[in-house]
Amino acid sequence: MSNIENLKSFDPFADTGDAETQPTNYIHIRIQQRNGRKTLTTVQGVPDEYDLKKVVKVLKKDFACNGNIVKDEELGQVIQLQGDQRLKVVEFLVSQLGLKKKNIKVHGF
């Protein structure tokens, strides 16, 4: 049986890395409404290997908005930015940090 090399090439039961199996891999970008027309963008799940402080610094300057880092017990560090910065954040994460677009989920309307 062990002689059949053919069977080793592909394991149909192997994890394909498909979608919901590891939701922690996702970067969630959400939007919340504040009072009036004001909104808040939250970026959750940016990998730890990036220095969030520096990232926020750049984001603030690039988007011309205020922002800060919130530490959540379950979800880790979350970036908050003022205004609707969702599309810009996606673009930044993909082009500057080299993250994959399929791992980024944009929520909201």
Partner 1 sequence: MSSAELGFDPSLKKKKKSKSTSSATASSAPAPAGAEADLFAGLKKKKKKSKDTTGEKDHKDSVDDVTATFETLRLKKKKKKSRHHDVDDFEKQLAKAGITTEEEAAANANLQANFIPYDKLLSRFFTILKEKNPELAGGQQTKLKIPPPEVQRDGNKKTMFANVQTIATVLQRTPEHLIQYLFAELGTSGSIDGEKRLIIRGRFQGKNIEGVLRRYIQDYVICKTCKSMNTELKRENANRLHFIVCKACGSTKSVASIKTGYQAHVGVNRRKKV
User: Looking at residue 22, what DSSP letter applies?
Assistant: -
30 makes contact with partner 1 (CB under 8 A): yes
47 makes contact with partner 1 (CB under 8 A): no
Question: C-alpha 30: how far from its chain's center?
Answer: 10
Residues 42 and 32: their CA atoms lie apart, in Å, by: 8
Residues 75 and 62: their CA atoms lie apart, in Å, by: 25
Q: Which of 83, 102, 101 is nearest to 93 (CA)?
A: 101
Q: Which of 52, 78, 89, 93 binds partner 1 (CB under 8 A)?
A: 78
Residues 89 and 14: their CA atoms lie apart, in Å, by: 33
85 makes contact with partner 1 (CB under 8 A): no
Nearest approach in angstroms of CB 3 to partner 1 is 36
33 makes contact with partner 1 (CB under 8 A): yes
Q: Which of 52, 65, 104, 109 binds partner 1 (CB under 8 A)?
A: 109
Binding site for partner 1 (CB under 8 A): 19-20, 23, 28, 30-35, 37, 40, 42, 44, 70, 72, 75, 78, 80, 107-109
